[in-house]
């Protein structure tokens, strides 16, 4: 996955005073990159976005924590053409017919497992073939 010129600096600013979340993000990035070798990543003000070539997923820090959410976590947002029926999904909405946005909490590296990587692979395929993005 290609990164912009100031990626490292932007990433450090995004995860300022959040070393646990930065470490978790780096683990996710390491596992996600091989799924879309021609893809790219962009650090923005409120999220880190993943493209292949269209936006298929994003990582953010929780702004408003829901009751019961852990203190240290990342919110992974994944766009799919179907709803996921999994307890790992903390929020899912259908903003447009046939397009589902899912929010999944990541709290430890073990959360980046085969099931999650399968959903990310599906999100890449969905973004490439449907032309829709989250």
Asked if residue 91 is part of any domain, the answer here is: yes
Q: What is the DSSP letter of 82?
A: S
Spatial CA neighbour of 133 closest among 84, 86, 96, 85: 96
Strand, coil or helix: what is 114?
A: helix
pLDDT (tens, 9 = 90+) of the chain, 134 residues, equals 999 999 999 999 999 999 999 999 999 999 999 999 999 999 999 999 999 999 999 999 997 777 778 889 999 999 999 999 999 999 999 998 999 999 999 999 999 999 999 999 999 999 998 744 45
Asked if residue 11 is part of any domain, the answer here is: yes
- Separation of alpha carbons 9 and 13, rounded Å: 6
Q: Which domain holds residue 33?
A: 7-130
Asked if residue 117 is part of any domain, the answer here is: yes
Asked if residue 2 is part of any domain, the answer here is: no
Asked if residue 1 is part of any domain, the answer here is: no
Asked if residue 90 is part of any domain, the answer here is: yes
Asked if residue 52 is part of any domain, the answer here is: yes
- Global pTM? 0.92
Backbone angles phi, psi at 114, to 5 degrees: -60, -40
């Amino acid at each position: 996955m290609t990164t912009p010129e100031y990626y490292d600096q932007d990433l450090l600013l995004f995860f300022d005073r959040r070393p646990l979340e930065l470490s978790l993000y780096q683990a996710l990035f390491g596992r996600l990159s091989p799924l879309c070798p021609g893809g790219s990543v962009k650090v923005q003000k409120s999220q880190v976005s993943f493209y292949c070539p269209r936006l298929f997923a994003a990582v953010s820090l929780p702004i408003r924590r829901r009751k019961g959410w852990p203190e240290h976590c990342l919110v992974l947002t994944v766009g799919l053409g179907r709803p996921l029926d999994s307890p790992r999904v903390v929020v899912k909405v259908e903003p447009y017919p046939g397009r589902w946005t899912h929010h999944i909490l990541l709290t430890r590296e073990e959360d980046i497992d085969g099931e999650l990587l399968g959903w990310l692979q599906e999100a890449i395929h969905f973004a490439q073939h449907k032309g829709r993005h989250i």
